[in-house]
Structure 1
Amino acid sequence: MSNKQRLVLSIIDFLNQSIEDGTVKQDDQESLEVAIQCIGEAFAVDPSDSAQREKLSIQPATLQNVFDVVLKTREKVGAGSAAAAPPTPAAPAAPTAEDKANAEKLKAEGNAKMSAKQYSEAIDAYTKAIALDPTNAVYYSNRAAAYSSKEQHSEATLDAQKAIEVDPNFVKAYHRLGHAQYCLGDYNEAAAAFRRGVELDPSNASLKSGLKNAEARIAPEDDLSSSLSEPEASGGNADAAGAGLGGMADMLRNLGGGGGGGMPDLANLMNNPMMMQMAQQMMGNGGLDRVMQNPALANMMNRVQQGGGMPSMAELMADPTMRDMAQQFGAGGAP
């Protein structure tokens, strides 16, 4: 500890000297004095203790002197020269034929352990195979399966991603990745992994099933948000209008229930961020004014005030203005 304490005492002396000679601005001196005290306490160095100072001091040298000597020495030997540059790490050697053969034996051992549900032992075998031949995507993919079997899905995700990095066309790795991310509850990423696998192997039933399951778990708000964030040309045709009506109707049902074609719960609608975003868009471009001036909507509201009940979804969608709004929302355009 004494050498470290010598260094600490030299630092404290340097900082005190900087305060005395005006190197440190007046406004910063108090903070520096507190720092000096904390440094001394942390290393049990008391610069006011003459006995300790006699033992630890490097005088007549100072920290500044030592630093200057180091810089001058460095300049003399040529700092940054090729001789002083750190050696470039050598590229890992390619596995030999013997390495690959032994790695295959370890893979077979790992597969046997997987069949026996000895997952930790399987992981150990696959890890040894990877050490011998890190260029084989199968070993990472198999270890990902073993990790998933132990419910260690984060580790499985990393291995599946490494397998894809080694061999982007190794289809099974996409299934491992999608499964692990699905188990972690990241359904968007799971769907993306399954989808990439299906693109490589369109006939793979497991990948298609995984994709279907992942897409089914994606929240409806995510789908709606995606459609609103991707501008599309509406074209005003019947297909676009149909998509708009269906999309808005589904959205309202999701937001408020609205069973039997009725209106959704108003509190749920106003608490939904997506509906608030739509309302702000309508207010910004005059859409709300057009809706409020709509005679058909005014008649519906008068009926409600007189106790006639809320209008149904079918009744709302029969109005051209509401149909136009629905078309714009469903097609991804701002109202």
Structure 2
Amino acid sequence: MPASDTQKKLSLAICDFLRTSIENGTISSDDAEGIEVAIQCIGEAFGVNPDEGNSAYSIKPQNLASIFEVFLNTQKKVSSGPKPQASAEPRLSDEERKAQAESFKAQGNKKMAEKDYAESISLYTKAIELDSRSAVYYGNRAAAYSQDGQHELAVADAKKAIEIDPNWAKGYSRLGHALFCLEQYEEAVAAYEKGLELDPNNASMQTSLNASKAKVNANADARGQAANRDLDNAGSSASSSAGAGAGGLPDLSALGGMDLGSIMSNPMFMSMAQNLMKDPKMAAMAQNLMSNPDALKEMMNNPEVASAAAKMMGGRK
């Protein structure tokens, strides 16, 4: 397809621009030869003669550079001027907003019946965006969140519903259900009890309250049994330790012919022991003896120790 007149004019203007750039030194002499070849190629491709000064397709006295500068200036003015404002959506009246919100709620209820919980959540959200002061919309979305397993979000929506309308019993029912699912049974009991104060004849809420209380009692019983097991284990450990003679010590009650029980209960011995234990060296020695049954047994069988103990007790030598 032959080039159009517009294309020929543009191509000739390009050739003129390139040749002028060679003449004014914009293009270096090293590149000039290559550009001249390019000029001839453009002319042949578009069917124009770059060397014909008075060609019918010439745009002189204008040139490509001046035309492009006009374009850039125009573009700059357009971009710096005031931007056209987007047409604002028509403002809805309060009645229209509430009507649309109710429509979204009704659609959400339908999706709940179809067990399409994700879509019902989306529709209830649209209703809330139109009317954020409706406890019912938050309560319904709380129910949808619970059915979808998102119990934390259900708790937040139920609390919001109660904040908007503290006398709406169903808000407490929604809260109790979400808390029960989160295994927060004591909090669920409190929510159901408050709901029943507002709606005493609600059989469903009463059943839920009973189930929550049963869970609280079961948890209390489990904690009590665990505590008893811990006490039993501690008692068994203590008995084992006592039977082993405080860490494996032998029964020393009659070593050296002495009654160790009498020695240990003698006030003079206790006073002497307390004074000795104030000395760090003596305390370390006593600790070493208590941890070494053989050494303690040998000491108690020593006649001199037995004699000293007898003198202290005022008994036999």
Q: Which has the higher contact order (CA 8 A, sep 6+)?
A: 1
Please tell me whether Structure 1 or Structure 2 has the larger radius of gyration of its CA atoms.
2
Asked if Structure 1 and Structure 2 have the same fold, meaning a TM-score greater than 0.5 normalized by the shorter chain, the answer is no
